[in-house]
A and B are shown apart, each in its own frame.
Chain A
Amino acid sequence: MAITRDNVLHVAKLARLELTETEIDRMQRDLDGILEYVNQLSELDTTDVPATTQVAVVAAPFRTDEPHRSLPHDLALSQAPRSSSDGFAVPAFVDEG
């Protein structure tokens, strides 16, 4: 296989997915098959072909520089699984010791 178990673990870590053992095996197999398929793109010589990053027909205009109301604080927090009075609650991630 072109994709190793370590490759899967590496991208899972980058993607913040804690896969189970069974999932790691399954994903290794699936990704290997898909990457083998997409490798057909290497048949094409694209040396002088520019990349297409977006397909908009007209350029995105600038918005007017006017202040406007944003989402009220309590509404923004209303769907959070955990919040404190002034924001979203998360586990401590800075060592304060």
Chain B
Amino acid sequence: MTDVLDLSIADLADQVQKGVLTARQVTEAALARVDQTRDLNALLYVARDAALAAADAVDAKRKAGAPLGKLSGVPIAIKDALCTTDAPTTCASKILTRVGEGNAGGTDPEHGFRPPYDATVVARLRAADAILIGKANMDEFAMGSSGENSAFGPSRNPWDKSRTAGGSSSGSAVAVAAGLALGSLGSDTGGSIRQPAALCGVVGVKPSYGRVSRYGLVAFASSLDQVGPFARDVKSAARLLEVISGRDPLDSTSAELPVGAYEAACSRDVKGLRIGIPQEYFGEGLDPAIEASVRAAIASLEQAGCTVKPVSLPHTKYGIATYYILATAEASSNLARFDGVRFGLRIETAKSDLTSLYGKTRNAGFGAEVKRRILLGTYVLSAGYYDAYYKKAQRVRTLIKRDFDRAFEAVDAIAVPTSPTSAFRFGEKVDNPLAMYLADVFTLPASLAGIAGLSVPCAPTPATSTQPILPVGLQLLGPAFAEELLFSLAAEVERRLGSVPRPPIS
């Protein structure tokens, strides 16, 4: 039975539409896989009953002769930063867990905040007859690059359980890599989809700023956040993006631009496309095994008829500093809403005044990294420091964006590594915030520029005496709203390299 979970999204939806498989069969197989892989901690909440009910509804719809959607019966995991009416939404934070009967508060995602509405992307998945199997683990409030900042324990990398899955959308990547879901949604503010996709060996897409509605995504940094899909193969990711994209009146930053034919773009010829290779992404700090794999993937595009040429993105090294000023400033403002009044945790005594209610609730509810970023963001926005830090970073953001604008005058897309290293061990970086921030060096600039990005698996690093084979991601970057082009290139890489093997499930 478990082999249905190895199908592509298009094949599975097709078989459910034709009645070869029932949505219930598929959902039961996915839930069995969820039970079998509990040690990976991919999901914070399993929506068992809701998933089976949704599956039965899809099967009933088919029996009644009604047309089925593009994701008929497809099991999908949703990052816990996206609001769902039938499952709790905690952002892997204690501050979004309720103090209720039999729950001291802050220890169990089952007692999480129950949103009164679905995120638009969630509603679109449901409308396409997808089955939402549960809420995926993540770094608290999407702040982190390893999943270790989850208040409910990190997800484990299915390729080596002593290693992190990357982050912040760690559970979304693991759910797809380990086959508990055929697709998942994550959010990417500075690399939170692309980096875990690379480290877990799956496809992850960070759409252009404005491509996908963020209504119902718990905000981290509003000038950067985008929702995007994970899937095991490029075409499946393309179908997911097609379903979730497009203008949404509930999010004024969603662009009034037509949704591309992403799935069709996967079979388009890439001959003659110009691919830029920026030297700044291939220097010191890049693991030689990653470089070899990424260069081989680029060579495969050359064999497909692409022209490869050097480009320069000279402000790349300033991406981390710029990002950690701007993103924390925005976060310090966005996270002001968690105050113990309208939802989630509340710490108060009979003597509490409003200020101490805020201060105690927030200090008890937020984890160390979230507090660190709120403090940093508050600092760079405070009187006397605003110009030196926040304003300065906004100007450098312009320089980073101009780098890409210039490069895209000469090339159609840019090919770089997604991450400088493969999956790292638990504890390796967690006590050193700066070392953790450096893990995002290759993903942050594209986020700052608001352009389209995608990570596709290339050849894994070979096994050594100290580690098994570990996945590697090729990152493709294109101008804003050039997602079709990225899908064409990624699908070509996938065809030429063959898909990455599945991790062992034990």
Contacts and interface: CB of A to CB of B under 8 A. Distances in A.
A31 B116 contact: no
A48 B337 CA distance: 36
Contacts of B476: none
Given A52-B394, A61-B252, A82-B346, A18 B357 contact: no
Nearest to B340: A81
B371 interface: yes
A15 B113 contact: no
B99 A81 contact: yes
Contacts of B33: none
Given A37-B434, A55-B449, A11 B342 contact: no
Given A63-B249, A81-B345, A27 B371 contact: yes
Contacts of B341: 80-81, 88, 90
Interface string B343-379: 1111010001111111110110010100110111011
Nearest to B402: A49
B7 interface: no
Mostly, the B contact residues are: helix
Mostly, the A contact residues are: loop
Interface in B191-246: 208-210, 223
A46 B375 contact: no
Nearest to A62: B252
Contacts of B433: 30, 33-34
Interface string A14-53: 1111111001001100110111011111101010011111
B239 to A, nearest CB: 24
A60 B253 contact: yes
Interface residues of A, number: 54
A1 interface: no
A11 B346 CA distance: 22
Contacts of A61: 252, 256
B395 A51 contact: yes
B434 A34 contact: yes
A50 B398 CA distance: 7
B166 interface: no
B382 to A, nearest CB: 6
A11 B354 contact: no
B376 A41 contact: no
Contacts of A8: 375
A75 B99 CA distance: 18
B321 A40 contact: yes
B376 A31 contact: yes
A85 to B, nearest CB: 16
Nearest to B323: A38
Contacts of A46: 392, 395-396, 398-399
B426 interface: no
A31 B375 contact: yes
Contacts of A88: 341-342
Contacts of A17: 359, 362-363, 366, 371, 374-375
A47 B434 CA distance: 28
B363 A57 contact: no
Nearest to A33: B434
Nearest to A81: B346
A37 B321 contact: yes
Nearest to A53: B394
Contact of B318 (A15, A20, A41, A58): A41
Given A11-B382, A37-B321, A57 B481 contact: yes
B449 A91 contact: no
A19 B363 contact: yes
B399 A38 contact: no
B324 interface: yes
Contacts of B99: 81
A80 B342 contact: yes
B113 A27 contact: no
A75 B116 contact: yes
A65 B134 CA distance: 37
A15 B378 contact: yes
A41 B396 contact: yes
Nearest to B335: A15
Contacts of B371: 17, 19, 23, 27
A84 interface: no
A44 B379 contact: no
B391 interface: yes
B392 A78 contact: no
A53 B223 contact: yes
B257 A57 contact: yes
A56 B209 CA distance: 6
A52 B253 contact: no
A82 B339 CA distance: 12
10 contacts: A15-B374, A18-B363, A27-B375, A38-B325, A40-B318, A44-B315, A46-B392, A57-B481, A80-B343, A88-B341
Interface of B: 98-99, 113-114, 116-117, 208-210, 223, 249, 252-253, 255-257, 315, 317-318, 320-322, 324-325, 332, 336, 339-346, 348, 352-360, 362-363, 366, 368, 371-372, 374-376, 378-379, 382, 388-389, 391-399, 401, 433-434, 437, 448-450, 480-481
Given A52-B397, A58-B257, A90-B357, 17 more contacts: A17-B362, A18-B356, A19-B371, A34-B324, A34-B433, A44-B318, A46-B398, A52-B394, A55-B223, A56-B450, A57-B480, A80-B342, A81-B98, A81-B345, A88-B341, A91-B348, A93-B353
Interface of A: 7-8, 10-12, 14-20, 23, 26-27, 30-31, 33-35, 37-42, 44, 46, 49-58, 60-61, 63, 71, 75-76, 78-82, 88, 90-93
